[in-house]
Amino acid sequence: MFEEEAISAVLDLMEVPSRSGVYVLGCFGRYITVYSQQVRALNLVYALNQCSKLKTDTRVCVVGAGIAGLTAAVGAARLGATVQVLEKRPRVMGLQKGSTQRFLHPHIYDWPAFELESDSPGLPFFDWSASTAEDVVNQIDKEWAKELELNPRILPPIFSVSDVALENDDPGISDPGIRITWNEPNKGTQGIDFDIVILAVGFGSEMDVTGAQHGYWEDDRLVKVHESVKSCLVSGTGDGGLTDLMQLCIRDFRHDRIVNMFANDARSRSIGLELLQVESDYRGQPRKLSDYYQKLHVPHVQELLGSMLRKDTDVTLTGGSFLKIYGGKSSILNRFIVSQLMHLKAWKWVLGPIQFPLSRNSQNKFAVRFRAKDGIEKSFDILITRHGPETPALQFGFPDIWHECEDLAKRWRALPQNLDLTRKRLPWKDAFETVDDIELTPASKVGPIRLVAFDLDGTLLRANNYKWSWPLVWTFLGYPDSLRARIMAQYRAQRYTHNQWYKAWCDRSARLFKKKGLKRSHFAEITSSLMVTDGMRETIQELKARGVKLAIISGGIDVFLEEKIPDYKSLFDYVYINQFRFDDEGAFIGVLSTKYDFEEKWTAVELICKTEGFSPAQTVFVGDGFNDADVIGKGGRTIAFTPTSAEMTNADFIVHEADLRKILPFLFQESASNG
Ligand SMILES: Cc1cc2nc3c(=O)[nH]c(=O)nc-3n(C[C@H](O)[C@H](O)[C@H](O)COP(=O)(O)OP(=O)(O)OC[C@H]3O[C@@H](n4cnc5c(N)ncnc54)[C@H](O)[C@@H]3O)c2cc1C
């Protein structure tokens, strides 16, 4: 029953009234994220399939090759439809391409409703993992290219199109389909009939009121630390404005890092629950919400943020109403962080809105007048306006349809986030992962080894009696290793999942390290007894020359890598490891714990396989210790390299000599016998 209701709700909120077969994919939605658009896209094609509107050989046109359009296109093709994608830019995901400063995480905006258990959306395809927007685009690009190569139901996409239009029904022709016309470079006007048209055109380009502003996804210079203090004004209190406000207040700002530092401990969980309750109790009461956030003091989050404040910016926020900062429509996460920054006096507020046109004064600063202050002028070095799109993309490209959707758009606007069924997954998982998925794996890809993943400590780095990097830090700071082992055992015994106990353990260690004043400069001494394993570089070169992808999947510490293999980023394609953080003076401030140690190491292998399109059977894991043994028997091959734990001797191949080149015979001569 739920499924039927949800299917009709999805179709009802996406079909253009009076235009049977034409759907608008999420363009009126709120709380829009890459992930929620993927879910909407899968929901739409699944719903169409379930009510028999989309089946084998249905002709589908998808307009827009952002994440929503691509997901709808692949989803529809996997359900049997023939799909044509039309895109006005010269490539897919053009909005986020090249964005190395913005970071995407599929679930970050769900906090505090969900803890951040996973870095991936967990989708049947395009299952990217959290990273910079640029890297996420690269992940999607690879999978899209593979899909195009292997799935003949997706016709070659047409880029750089203009004037895409839907022709009105011609009453003289019986059921001709929906005629789409467009202009194509070098070909001129084209027109084809389709059964279904999905308009996935997004939200439109932002206004550039300064004449020199970077779009939200374009790299700007906000993350750069300046020598002199810059006065900065952020205009806009939506998520874009609040994100830039945080970026200007916090050093090396990234949502996921901040959230990972506080979200999963018991105190923060109870704050999270309180926030959810308050948001629900005060829905539609911006004044009460605003009062609540202004009074909300969370000392441990303030302490954390306080240690990360930038010293090179003087930040002001402005907008039409102070109430909108906390009582508006932005995410709970952003409002929460911004409220704690307010208590730290990291930013100040000036009531706007700002007046146009803008000008620059004789010092080349922005001279901004604030309407609420009767046009009083203040000057700023940096001005960022996040006022939303100039004209919504749907209105710009398809004015008739925009007009026909006026009532529909109102219904979207009135929809509270928790009642928006379009973003709740329909039960489609198996629908997209059936026979087609198996057919999509090319035979040529099963066989040769495509990925070799290495443990770090004891495998790539060695020393006498060396097992692991953490004990070296503990003992350097004067803590007995027995204390480390005892605390770690306690945490392991208390929690259910790896991520729960491991992160808690790392955080506890971090607190002890901070207490003793650990510094980045200490690591030269801490790692002084370590050497890079013999034959490491030759082995890596050999594997690279054969086109094998390389990974480090380690429960060790990134600073060890920086010290001993400083060029590791150019040697390895993927590195999963605990990341130590230091402030500008080099004092240790915390650890971003890896999610891929112990029983989760195999998860990292699977993640890489998904990204690269390899089968797990084409992977080899090389490790030595007890935290590597879980990989054995999971579907790939394993090498125990000078094993230090009994469990590792169950690996497919054992190397006793401490020379990494000894793994090569196993990798490239299947007949080799155990060394
Ligand atoms: C300020 C801001 C901050 C954001 N922060 C985040 C964040 O932190 N995390 C997150 O997940 N999401 C974030 N988002 C949302 C994210 O940008 C969207 O979720 C995502 O881009 C939506 O994908 P889409 O495919 O629906 O639209 P788009 O990515 O906009 O893709 C639409 C495509 O349609 C094409 N197109 C448009 N009109 C036509 C036409 N007439 N003919 C042909 N092609 C056309 C466009 O060129 C484009 O390629 C943010 C958005 C903004 C504005």
pLDDT (tens digit per residue) in 458-487:
999 999 888 889 999 999 999 988 888 888
- CA nearest to 636, candidates 451, 468, 386, 429: 451
- Considering the entire predicted model, what is its pTM? 0.66
The top-scoring range by mean pLDDT among 422-426, 533-537, 655-659 is 533-537
pLDDT at 436 over 60: no
The position carrying tokens 């710009």 is 396
Mean pLDDT of 639-651: 83
Tell me the pLDDT band of 119, cut-offs 50, 70 and 90: confident
Helix axis angle for 67-78 and 34-50, nearest 10°, is 30
pLDDT at 109 over 90: no
Nearest-atom index, ligand 1, CA of 26: 26
What is the Cα–Cα distance from 70 to 200, expressed in whole angstroms? 9
Nearest-atom index, ligand 1, CA of 36: 19
Q: What is the largest CA-CA distance in the chain?
A: 88
* Pocket (CB within 6 angstroms of ligand 1): 26, 32-35, 37, 63-69, 86-89, 94-95, 104, 161, 164, 200-203, 216, 239-240, 386, 393, 397
Lowest mean pLDDT, pick from 212-221, 330-339, 555-564: 212-221
Q: Is the peptide bond before 389 cis (omega within 30 degrees of 0)?
A: no
Chain segment 567-576, per-residue pLDDT in tens: 999 999 999 9
Mean pLDDT of the chain: 87
Quote the ligand 1 centre to 580 CA distance (angstroms): 33
Q: Which two tokens stand for residue 153?
A: 């139901």
What is the Cα–Cα distance from 279 to 482, expressed in whole angstroms? 46
Nearest-atom index, ligand 1, CA of 255: 8
pLDDT at 672 over 50: no
- Res 1: pLDDT: 45
- Res 389: pLDDT: 80
- Residue 115 near residue 186, CB atoms below 8 Å: no
- Res 358: pLDDT: 83
Residue nearest to atom 4 of ligand 1 (CA): 240
- Res 208: pLDDT: 64
- Res 437: pLDDT: 44
Query: What percent of the chain clears pLDDT 70, i.e. is strictly above it?
Result: 91
pLDDT at 10 over 80: yes
Identical topology for domains 2-201+391-432 and 230-385: yes
CATH code for the part of the protein at 445-668? 3.40.50.1000
Chain segment 586-643, per-residue pLDDT in tens: 999 999 889 899 889 999 999 999 889 888 989 999 999 888 988 988 889 999 999 8
Query: What percent of the chain clears pLDDT 90, i.e. is strictly above it?
Result: 54
Quote the ligand 1 centre to 560 CA distance (angstroms): 39
Nearest-atom index, ligand 1, CA of 27: 26
- CA nearest to 386, candidates 256, 223, 205, 221: 205
- Residue 351 near residue 322, CB atoms below 8 Å: yes
What is the Cα–Cα distance from 103 to 599, expressed in whole angstroms? 27
pLDDT at 429 over 80: no
Tell me the pLDDT band of 441, cut-offs 50, 70 and 90: very low
- Res 151: pLDDT: 82
Quote the ligand 1 centre to 249 CA distance (angstroms): 26
- CA nearest to 119, candidates 545, 675, 465, 593: 593
- Residue 357 near residue 375, CB atoms below 8 Å: no
Sketch the domain layout of the chain as residue ranges.
2-201+391-432, 230-385, 445-668
3-state secondary structure of 467: coil
What architecture is domain 230-385? 3-Layer(bba) Sandwich (3.50)
- Res 671: pLDDT: 34
Which residues on adjacent β-strands are paired with residue 621? 453, 638
Q: How many CA atoms lie within 13 A of 150 on its CB side?
A: 19
Q: Which two tokens stand for residue 111?
A: 């906090």
Mean pLDDT of 130-139: 93
- Res 673: pLDDT: 37
What architecture is domain 2-201+391-432? 3-Layer(bba) Sandwich (3.50)
pLDDT at 336 over 80: yes
Quote the ligand 1 centre to 634 CA distance (angstroms): 38
Residue nearest to atom 13 of ligand 1 (CA): 33
DSSP letter string, 605-634? HHHHHHHHT--GGGEEEEE-STTTGGGTTS
Lowest mean pLDDT, pick from 67-76, 167-176, 513-522, 524-533: 167-176
Quote the ligand 1 centre to 551 CA distance (angstroms): 32
Lowest mean pLDDT, pick from 62-76, 190-204, 622-636: 622-636
- Res 135: pLDDT: 93
Quote the ligand 1 centre to 643 CA distance (angstroms): 49
What is the Cα–Cα distance from 675 to 666, expressed in whole angstroms? 9
